[in-house]
Amino acid sequence: MNATDRTPADLLRSALAADPSRPLVTFYDDATGERVELSVATFANWVAKTANLLQGDLAAEPGDRLALLLPAHWQTAVWLLACSSVGVTAEIGGDPATADLVVSGPDTLEEARACSGERVALALRPLGGRFPEPPAGFTDYALEVPGQGDRFAPYAPVDPDAPALVVGGTGLTGTEVVERARTDARQHGLRPGSRMLSGLPYDHWEGLSAGLLAPLAAGGSVVLCRHLDRLSDGALEQRRESERVTVTAL
């Protein structure tokens, strides 16, 4: 990654320039049997489309606060990088009642209704599937994102020293997110080509770092596992071998 990268979105741009075809996020849901692998280019395309939805259709601006009510999931990772691209502060598990926008999974829709601003719902179904019946009062992400542009340009430059992320009650600027991710990458021994398997949730820094940011900062990739407790020890070891995992965070 480049020494000049100062936001998570910068890290993604550098990864795209370095090797767009390599895997970046491999996602497993052991409750449904889902496996999704996204290359850097595919992940960046989802981020661009989501950032265009956020900036264009949802009228989000730098400094807006977005309550992100989603589990550790590949689509959550996309939203985090989209927020960084626009300059919106992503508040993981934030209070919808005080946020400018809310993005919710299927299990937190009632809580999300407290937001008076734009509300987006994700079904979190395999392959990014939509809701069978869109929830009233919400934009169905899976319906709206495919038609968005494949390239994104912010209306205003993103300030790397502005608030970018709130996780586990701690607020961080874009610069601080990148610095902490790089520190964690060194501590985990991550380097270009490393594969980190994480079964940690995204509601604290350690899980978010292991499950996305540290591998991204190191030029590596993540094997992100949801409902890993449903997997036997033997099956987990097989996954480590088949996915060529070099570092594990459980």
DSSP one-letter code for 54: I
Length of the chain: 250
DSSP state string for 121-176: E---BGGGBPPSSPPTTSEEHHHHSTTS-SS---SS---TTSEEEEETTEEEEHHH
Query: HSE (CB half, 13 Å, CA atoms) of 43?
Result: 33
Taking alpha carbons only, the member of 16, 61, 5, 58 closest to residue 177 is 5
Q: Is 36 inside any structural domain?
A: yes
Q: Is 171 inside any structural domain?
A: yes
Rounded Cα distance between 91 and 42, Å, is: 25
Position of tokens 């937001």? 115
For residues 179-199, average pLDDT: 98
Whichever domain contains 33, its CATH number is 3.40.50.12780
- Going 127 to 14 to 219 to 209, the CA torsion angle's sign is negative
DSSP one-letter code for 89: E
Average predicted confidence (pLDDT) for the chain: 97
For residues 156-180, average pLDDT: 97
Instruction: Give per-residue pLDDT as tens, 124-144.
Output: 999 899 999 989 999 999 999
pTM given for the model: 0.98
- Is the confidence at residue 193, as pLDDT, over 90? yes
DSSP one-letter code for 230: G
Contact of 141 with 121, CB cutoff 8 Å: yes
29 pLDDT band (50/70/90 cuts)? very high
Q: Is 65 inside any structural domain?
A: yes
Query: HSE (CB half, 13 Å, CA atoms) of 25?
Result: 30
How many domains does the chain contain in total?
1
Rounded Cα distance between 209 and 17, Å, is: 22
Q: Is 50 inside any structural domain?
A: yes
What is the structure's pLDDT at 2?
Answer: 81
Q: Is 1 inside any structural domain?
A: no
Instruction: Give per-residue pLDDT as tens, 71-118.
Output: 999 999 999 999 999 999 999 999 999 999 999 999 999 999 999 999
Residues spanned by the domain of 156: 8-249
CA of residue 147 relative to chain centroid, distance: 20
- Is the confidence at residue 154, as pLDDT, over 70? yes
Q: Is 2 inside any structural domain?
A: no
